[in-house]
C-alpha cells in the first residue's frame, strides 16, 4: 500500500472517531477535531472543556497487521495527562478499543 493510501485510511478512522465522540457527548467542531496528518501528539485533539467530559487520549490505527505493543506505547507517550485509548480496526472489521485494565475498571466503577 502506498504511504498516501495508508494515511488516508488512518484519517478515515480518526474522522469517524471524532464524529462518534462529538455526537455522543455533544461536542462542537471547536471542542474536538482530528489531528492533521503528521501533527505530533494525539490523533484526536480535544479542548480543555472536552477533556473534562471525555478524558481520553485517542490513538487511531487502521491497519491489517497491528503491532499492539508499539501502538499502546505511542498512545501512552502522547496521552498528555489523559487516559491513553487505542482505537483500532482493519478492513471489513468492527472497531475496537484497548486501554489499561485498571482504567477499564475505573471507567466501569463511575
**What domain count does the chain have?**
1
Q: For all residues of the chain together, what is the average pLDDT?
A: 93
Confidence of residue 16 (pLDDT cuts 50, 70, 90): very high
Which residues have a Cβ under 8 Å from the Cβ of 43 and sit 6 or more positions away?
A: 10, 14, 17, 34, 35, 58, 59, 60
**Beta strands 56-62 and 83-89, pairing class:** parallel
Among candidate residues 80, 81, 85, 88, the one with its CA nearest the CA of residue 100: 85
- Is the pLDDT reported for residue 24 higher than 80? yes
CATH code (residue 36): 3.40.1350
**Residue 95 belongs to domain spanning:** 3-109
Amino acid at each position: 500500500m502506498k504511504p498516501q493510501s495508508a494515511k488516508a485510511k488512518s484519517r478515515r478512522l480518526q474522522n469517524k472517531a471524532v464524529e462518534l465522540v462529538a455526537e455522543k457527548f455533544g461536542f462542537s467542531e471547536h471542542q474536538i477535531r482530528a489531528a492533521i496528518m503528521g501533527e505530533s501528539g494525539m490523533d484526536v485533539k480535544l479542548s480543555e472543556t472536552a477533556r473534562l467530559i471525555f478524558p481520553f487520549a485517542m490513538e487511531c490505527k487502521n491497519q491489517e497487521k497491528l503491532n499492539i505493543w508499539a501502538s499502546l506505547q505511542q498512545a501512552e507517550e502522547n496521552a498528555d495527562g489523559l487516559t491513553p485509548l487505542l482505537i483500532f480496526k482493519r478492513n471489513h472489521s468492527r472497531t475496537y478499543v484497548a486501554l489499561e485494565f485498571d482504567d477499564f475498571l475505573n471507567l466501569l466503577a463511575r
